[in-house]
Amino acid sequence: MSGVSSVTVTVPATTANLGPGFDCIGAALTLYNEFKFTRLEEGTLTIRVTGAEAERVQTDESNLLYQAFLKLYQYIEQTPPSVKMEIDLGVPLARGLGSSATAIVGGLIGANKLAGTPLSQLQVMELAIAMEGHPDNVVPALLGGCRLAATSDASWEICEVPWHQDVIPVVAIPDFELSTKEARSVLPTQVSRADAIFNTAHLGLLLRGLETGKGEWLKAALQDKLHQPYRQALISGYDVVNAAATAAGAYGMVISGAGPTLLALADPTQSKAVEMAMLTAWQQAGITAVVRSLCVDTQGANSFYEG
Ligand SMILES: Nc1ncnc2c1ncn2[C@@H]1O[C@H](COP(=O)(O)OP(=O)(O)O)[C@@H](O)[C@H]1O
Ligand SMILES: N[C@@H](CCOP(=O)(O)O)C(=O)O
């Protein structure tokens, strides 16, 4: 029998797009899902889920973690073993914090480890991008940090985007879900040249703003014309939370991933006030939310063996 019998994989949440970087930039955040895979000598697939909203995760073969696990075995042309999967949820589901990316990255890494690590990290990354359909959440989930992904012929160039320590990500997570599928369905298939130029310029400015922490650049950079104008209507309270965050001193506010979580960037002296302002604004709009200042995770997915 090749490989190990049990492996635990932790994968960070992500915040994708960061405003103007639709489908190409994202950052890993210090919020984690943990996945334990145990090879079974007999029996069938077993999935146990713990943590908040555990009952909302499928426990049959349609489970995304298991689908990713199967994908890797399919790719290496081996029969997958029977497996017990234990999922401990720390990343809220369908909130724009990359829960699907954690499942895809976790399932691929778990399978790769149980199979004796036949694939490189680059191969795992390419499989993850193909499964998710865009790189901006799976790449930082796998590698950590803030990452920009661009195609280069048939492969990917990934670059780490320096993130100044005084730029604090504040996430405001409402108690309602918005699936990425639905949030993508409202986007136009074509955009104007003016909108394309707008986003190109603002993404360039964002990269320099994140690197330097320069407030004026960040304030201007956190604007987008490719996805947010179409998605805001799906997020009840967007306008009031946005106004409250900026009034409290945030550089700006964007939709985290496909939403509905809203992400403000603020300097460390303002982040507590921004948290409070976003929470209060959403409460006044009748929506319960959890608001937290996080850090950028620099490790990405981690795995350790127990047998
Ligand atoms: N830990 C998990 N294990 C299995 N499936 C998961 C897990 N997390 C998310 N999923 C699947 O991904 C879906 C959410 O994906 P998506 O709509 O892209 O939202 P998100 O923005 O959170 O990635 C869930 O409804 C579930 O089907
Ligand atoms: N670029 C994608 C990102 C989706 O991220 P998620 O965290 O919501 O899965 C999009 O905006 O659709």
User: Does 79 have pLDDT greater than 70?
Assistant: yes
**Same domain for 185 and 117:** no
- For 30-59, the pLDDT digits (tens) are 999 999 999 998 889 999 999 999 999 999
The SS3 call for residue 195 is helix
Average pLDDT over residues 231-258: 98
Q: Is residue 302 part of a domain?
A: no
Per-residue pLDDT, 2:
56
* Confidence tier at 4 by pLDDT (50, 70, 90): confident
Task: Tell me whether residue 303 is in a domain.
Answer: no
Please indicate, yes or no, if residue 305 is contained in any of the structural domains. Answer: no
**Residue 96 counted as an annotated binding residue:** yes
Contact (Cβ atoms closer than 8 angstroms) between residue 289 and residue 279: yes
ipTM above 0.90, yes or no: yes
Instruction: Tell me which residue of 150, 149, 29 sits closest to 90, measured CA to CA.
Output: 29
pLDDT, tens digit, 9 for 90 and up, residues 117-175: 999 999 999 999 999 999 999 999 999 999 999 999 989 999 999 999 999 999 999 99
* Same-domain pairing of 24 and 147: yes
Is the Cβ–Cβ distance between 52 and 92 less than 8 Å? yes
Residue 130 domain-assigned? yes
Same domain, yes or no, for 134 and 241? no
- Domain termination residue (choose one: 161, 196, 212): 161
Ligand 2 within 6 A of CB of 135: no
Tokens of 285: 């709009």
Residue 37 is part of a domain; what is its CATH number? 3.30.230.10
> Domain limits at 105?
6-161
Q: Name the residue with the closest Cα to ligand 2, atom 10.
A: 258
User: Which structure tokens are listed for 170?
Assistant: 């504040």
Domain end residue (candidates: 161, 184, 211): 161
* 197 and 78 share one domain: no
- C-alpha 94/C-alpha 274 separation (Å) is 23
Domain end (from 139, 161, 183): 161
Rounded to two decimals, the pTM is 0.97
Q: How many domains does the chain have?
A: 2
Which CATH number do you get for residue 175? Answer: 3.30.70.890
Q: Tell me, what's the pLDDT at 307? A: 56
Spatial contact of 283 and 191, defined as CB atoms under 8 Å apart: no
User: 99 among the known binding-site residues?
Assistant: yes
Q: Are 11 and 36 in contact (CB under 8 A)?
A: no
User: Do 84 and 132 belong together in one domain?
Assistant: yes
- Is the residue at 304 inside a domain? no
- The enclosing H or E element of 87 equals strand 82-89
> Could you tell me the pLDDT band of residue 78, with boundaries at 50, 70 and 90?
very high
The count of other CB atoms within 10 Å of the CB of residue 155 is: 9
Give the separation between CA 86 and CA 67, rounded to whole angstroms. 15
Q: Do residues 216 and 104 both lie within one domain? A: no
- Ligand 1 center to 153 CA (angstroms): 30
Residues with CB under 6 A from ligand 1: 33, 57, 63-65, 87, 89, 93-103, 179-180, 257-258
Residue 301 located in a structural domain: no
Evaluate the omega torsion of the peptide bond into residue 268 and state whether it is cis, within 30 degrees of 0: no
Q: Are residues 148 and 25 in the same domain?
A: yes
